[in-house]
Amino acid sequence: MKEAVLQLRNVTKKIGNRKIVDDLTFDIPAGEVFGFLGPNGAGKTTTIRMIVGLISMTKGEAIVNGVSVSKNFELAMTHIGAIVENPEMYKFLSGYQNLVHFARRHSGVTKQRIDEVVKMLGLQNRIHEKVKRYSLGMRQRLGVAQAILHRPSLLILDEPTNGLDPAGIRELRDYLRKLTREEGISVIVSSHLLSEMELMCDRVAIIQAGKLIDIRSLQENKETAQSKIMIEVNDLQAAHRLLASAFDETRLSVNGDQLEVSSDKAAIPDIARLLVKAGLDVYGIHAVKKSLEEQFLEITGGEMVV
Amino acid sequence: MSSLKQLIRNENMKIYRRPRTWLMIGFLVVVLLIMGGVMKWDESRSSSSDWKQHLTEQNAQIQMDLQQNKAVDAESKKWQTNTIKMNEYYLDNDINPNKLSLWDYVDNSASLIMLVTILTVIIAADMIAAEFSWGTIKLLLVGPASRTKIMLGKYVSTMVFALLLLLISFAVAFGIGSFLAGFNGLTLPHLTIGADGIVHEGSMIVNSLQKYGYAIVSLLMYVTMAFMISAAFRSSSMAIAFSLLFMLVGNTLSMILSGYGWVKYLLFSNIDLTQYLEGSHPLRPEMTLSFSLLMLAAYYVVLQLVAWLLFTKRDVAT
């Protein structure tokens, strides 16, 4: 793993006797898009709000670039840009005035930088209009602009896709990719939309009932492991018997009119030879990657996400 | 890290870029103009050509009353002799008391500080609560400025707004006064009768500023209270409602309850410092100016502390 941009150490939030977030300890590597994944009420938003100081921690510490958020809030926040839920802006101000408002909080954000960010997010045509006339997608872009004005090393987005239409979500995804590439920003995103996270993130932490269940890299996932082979033949029973001798029985299952083998595609030639030698008619063999959703359901024990 | 100066600029931008702020300022100016107009109209109704004769007659009448011992108590006797002295002074110095001077307009505008207070309360009530209702509080707090700094910035801008309204009312009243009464009255003295029973000439501007000063004390307290409620309940309507309620019924309540000794510890019993001016009575005999100032200071500190604790320590979860 690369150097950590954010370290969480025993982060805990207790409300009454209930632990909303329970002893989270993990590092978020620099230069990646990192996702917080979990069912509604798992504690994603609470964790993110603790990192940015909106909610106090009962115990533990969040450290950004070596600066503790709870001990040195102002300095830590110079490293962070954030959008918490839908970015609500001052509607009676223009987009540009909103940016000036947020730029003033930081030392050293010049007019040129504001213009640069406006152009980068494609807002230049309507930046002097009042925000109340903006669409949600445009507000989202203005929110991103506001968050990156001061060149933070970490961008935190809490449920950024809430309320956005598919085009808006796609647009946001493109901006995030562009930002990590052009500005070298690390990004933390929380969401309950698995398919979105799969497209957006390099790595995800899966959180359930306030506890960290697993962290996995989605990049590795794409190349290796976690795939299955779907086989279409004329005689499913025969094929099942045949393959049971070559593979572990537990890795076989019948899925509709297809036989499913948990294995990567390196096994396909062997399977093909076996089936053909046995005189079965093979209509198709192909490898299928397990989606994040399936993996997620496996890990969280089948609890559905939305 | 944010500098306080920049945060105040931000808060000012959010106050003055809202059209309703300018509506309020416009409203204040219109009310001041109407008040000036009404004063002038009222003056023109009372005939002023024969004021010398009128004063002489009045004095003769009072003199007669005194000799016949019509006034029973010492209080009204004193008032009558003072009136005679004042009238004689007017006649000797050729000052028409019915003719309004520039300073009368300015003096009267001090009574409109009540309006300034209400307008500032509306602004103060919105300072923190509106950020919550707009949802902008999250972006506001997620920045390199501590909550204490943000709150201080908001408080300072609120007070600057109050100051602006005060300056506007003083300037507009001065303007109307000089337009309707001319600058002749500028050097007129402010007349009082001291304990020695002699007419004293005081400075008019000092007198006007004094009136403004007393009104500013209550402005400061009510605005701070609105700001506190805004920070505590995160609801601007609640902040406006409670502050105005206290403003309107607080005084009456203190009056009704003035029989009880503990009333002197209430905020409303101390907020009106004009009760210590000559010729008026404090709410309770044992109350003194320094007692009231001490109580006000204590209330001020408590209000600020409560607001600060609630704003800086509470989670922002919505």
More confident residue, B210 or B137: B137
Give CA separation, A220 vs A1, A223, A225, B112, in Å: 13, 5, 8, 73
In this prediction, the answer to ipTM > 0.85 reads: no
User: Considering only A99-113, A266-280, B168-182, B267-281, which range has the smallest mean pLDDT?
Assistant: B267-281
| Phi (first) and psi of residue A55, to 5 degrees | -120, 140
Nearest residue on chain A to B130, judged by CA atoms? A90
User: Considering only B95-99, B123-127, B165-169, B263-267, which range has the smallest mean pLDDT?
Assistant: B95-99
Cross-strand bridge partners of residue A252: A261
pLDDT value of residue A303: 53
Best A44, A88, A142, A162 residue to mutate vs chain B (most B CBs within 10 Å) = A88
Nearest residue on chain A to B153, judged by CA atoms? A105
Query: Is residue A224 scored above 70 in pLDDT?
Result: no
Query: Is residue B259 scored above 80 in pLDDT?
Result: yes
CA B293 to the chain's CA centroid: 16
Q: What is the pTM of this model?
A: 0.83
Q: Quick check: B141 and A53 CB within 8 A?
A: yes
Query: Is residue A306 scored above 50 in pLDDT?
Result: no
Nearest residue on chain A to B137, judged by CA atoms? A88
Cα of A212 to nearest chain B Cα, Å: 21
pLDDT value of residue A304: 47
Q: Are A142 and A160 in contact (CB under 8 A)?
A: no
Nearest residue on chain A to B132, judged by CA atoms? A88
Give A146's contacts in chain B (Cβ within 8 Å): 139
More confident residue, B198 or B313: B313
Domains and CATH numbers, chain A: 4-219 (3.40.50.300), 227-289 (3.30.70.2470)
The residue among B94, B110, B103, B93 whose CA lies nearest residue B181 is: B103
Segment A222-231 shows an average pLDDT of: 68
More confident residue, B156 or B72: B156
User: Considering only A72-76, A276-280, B94-98, B268-272, which range has the smallest mean pLDDT?
Assistant: B94-98
Best A52, A56, A90 residue to mutate vs chain B (most B CBs within 10 Å) = A90
Question: What are the residue ranges spanned by the domains of chain B?
Answer: 4-20+101-191+203-313
Q: What is the percent of chain B where pLDDT is above 70?
A: 95
**Nearest-5° angle of CA A109, CA A63, CA B140?**
45
Q: What is the mean pLDDT of chain B?
A: 85
The residue among A10, A8, A51 whose CA lies nearest residue A27 is: A8
Q: Quick check: B138 and A78 CB within 8 A?
A: no
Q: Are B303 and A46 in contact (CB under 8 A)?
A: no
Q: Which of B138, B146, B315 lies nearest to residue A84, judging by beta carbons?
A: B138
Q: Quick check: B316 and A54 CB within 8 A?
A: yes
Q: How confident is the model at residue B165 (pLDDT cuts 50, 70, 90)?
A: very high
Q: Quick check: A77 and B317 CB within 8 A?
A: no
